[in-house]
A and B are shown apart, each in its own frame.
Chain A
Amino acid sequence: MVHFSPEEKAAITSLWGKVNVEEAGGEALGRLLVVYPWTQRFFDNFGNLSSASAILGNPKVKAHGKKVLTSFGEAIKNMDNLKGTFAKLSELHCDKLHVDPENFRLLGNVLVIILASHFGKEFTPSVQAAWQKLMAGVATALAHKYH
């Protein structure tokens, strides 16, 4: 089980409080689809994904991004029990969505990059390290129920 120190939890929650979940979610998912275009395979029915601006402006991408990031918010409230928090979502991603867990790591890294661009200097190496730990924990939790 991943253990977060009080400093790490503070670094994560204080930044999270300033994140616009709707915007950041859309941006994170959008960037995933732009930078790693093979991830578009999971979103056949999302409509126009033909260019970076089409993807980033796509309402379905924004809506789904918001959904994904809202669930990250749940992770942050339950950092001591990520596996429990994500058990059902893990089953869903394996059994219904058929998503290779590598993609969770990709999305986590894209999100870190977006946080860096929003928060600049405030996103120090130690703050980044706390977030990377959270991303790794979430990715592992989401992969935990795969069979």
Chain B
Amino acid sequence: MSLTKAERTIILSMWDKISSQADAIGTQALERLFTSYPQTKTYFPHFDLHPGSPHLHMHGAKVVAALGDAVKSIDNIAGALAKLSELHAYILRVDPVNFKVGAGLGSWREPGARGGAGSRLKVLRPAPSTPPPVPGRSRSRPPALQLLSHCLLVTVASHFPADFTADAHTAWDKFLSIVSSVLTEKYR
């Protein structure tokens, strides 16, 4: 999965607005993450995670700054985030089952596999470009980095609704998926 030219343009054009509120956006994304998905707090026992805490503020700013590095090197995100990738693999070790490239890849069943006269999916379609399944992905435990990506999207959508068109949503979702996959590249 890689970004099209149009998607890169969208991301670059929105980045100025986002980075002008980097601290607020990063902080809010983390607040949303810890409120909706309390299990993610297990990675921050050393932080005060209450809303308004300086730790949240500091870490939120860090996360958005890292995204900024990826945006500035959007043609080489792996290179831009190489050190962070090592940090996540060797030091932070957020559960890799918890990293997913692209949301919700369920089983890619052939149309009509379940058979039955009522099947609406009668004709075999050529499979659209499907991201490959991530080994060991657990459906009962949504991935931590994916949850953070989702909360970043929610935060950006709530701050910049007019800019967050369906195409922008796609571009950002893909971008964050790529960032997540770079961060887990070196796990083993």
Chain A contacts to B: CB under 8 angstroms: 30-31, 34-38, 40-42, 44, 52, 55-56, 95-98, 100-103, 105-106, 109, 112-114, 116-121, 123, 125-126, 128-129, 132-133
Tell me the complex Cα distance, A123–B109, Å: 36
CB distance from B83 to the nearest CB of A (A): 30
Q: Are A128 and B166 in contact (CB under 8 A)?
A: no
Q: Are B161 and A118 in contact (CB under 8 A)?
A: yes
Q: Known contacts being A38-B128, A101-B106, is A113 close to B153, with CB within 8 Å?
A: yes
Q: Are A117 and B161 in contact (CB under 8 A)?
A: yes
Chain B contacts to A: CB under 8 angstroms: 28, 31-32, 35-37, 51, 102-109, 111-114, 116, 118-121, 123, 125, 127-130, 139, 142, 150, 153-155, 157-159, 161, 164-167, 169-170, 173
Q: Are A44 and B125 in contact (CB under 8 A)?
A: yes
- Taking A102-B105, A123-B154 as known contacts, 16 extra A-B pairs with beta carbons closer than 8 A to each other, sorted by chain A number, are A34-B167, A35-B169, A36-B103, A41-B111, A44-B121, A100-B109, A105-B142, A112-B150, A116-B158, A117-B164, A120-B161, A125-B28, A126-B35, A128-B35, A128-B36, A132-B37
A contact residues around B108 at 8 Å (CB): 38
B contact residues around A119 at 8 Å (CB): 158
Q: Are A123 and B139 in contact (CB under 8 A)?
A: no
Q: Are B139 and A102 in contact (CB under 8 A)?
A: yes
Tell me the complex Cα distance, A98–B120, Å: 9
Q: Are A117 and B103 in contact (CB under 8 A)?
A: no
CB distance from B120 to the nearest CB of A (A): 7
Give 16 CB contacts A-B under 8 Å.
A30-B166, A36-B102, A40-B128, A42-B121, A44-B121, A56-B166, A96-B116, A100-B109, A101-B139, A102-B106, A103-B104, A106-B103, A116-B154, A117-B158, A117-B161, A125-B36
Q: Are A106 and B169 in contact (CB under 8 A)?
A: no
A contact residues around B164 at 8 Å (CB): 113, 117
